């Protein structure tokens, strides 16, 4: 079980680096970062809940991604201030986009498929 956690941690850190890299270059479509973010959420949940089925993990990850995206519709002063910080921007995002929901589904589905094949 410890080896699995190490593997998931390495995946999470690699995805974070790829996500930051994807925001550095303008030729990489923004949706790639959103897809990577969703995959990272999947692997973070998997890291925390190793004994839970991978299908449940996928549903939990989609729910988290959707909750974060829909939370962007809430525009109170305090949450706007949090979103203006670097961690707040990367974790909570800035504005609701329907396309981000699609990217979340694709990212979680991709992570789920990769996880099932190993």
Range of the domain at 91: 2-117
Q: How far apart are CA 76 and CA 56, in angstroms?
A: 32
- What pTM value is reported for the model? 0.91
Q: Is 98 exposed, middle or buried (0-12, 13-18, 19+ CB in 10 A)?
A: exposed
Which tens digits make up the pLDDT trace of 46-91? 999 999 999 999 999 999 999 999 999 988 999 999 999 988 888 8
Which tens digits make up the pLDDT trace of 103-116? 999 999 999 999 99
What is the count of structural domains for the chain?
1
């Amino acid at each position: 079980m410890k080896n699995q956690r190490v593997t998931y941690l390495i995946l999470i850190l690699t995805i974070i680096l790829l996500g930051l890299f994807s925001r550095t270059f303008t030729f990489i479509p923004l949706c790639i970062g959103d897809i990577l973010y969703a995959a990272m959420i999947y692997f973070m949940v998997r890291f925390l809940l190793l004994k839970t089925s991978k299908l449940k993990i996928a549903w939990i990850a989609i729910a988290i991604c959707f909750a974060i995206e829909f939370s962007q519709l809430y525009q109170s002063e305090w949450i706007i201030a949090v979103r203006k910080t670097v961690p707040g921007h990367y974790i909570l995002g800035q504005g609701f986009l329907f396309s981000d929901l699609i990217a979340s589904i694709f990212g979680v589905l991709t992570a789920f498929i990769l996880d099932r094949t190993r």
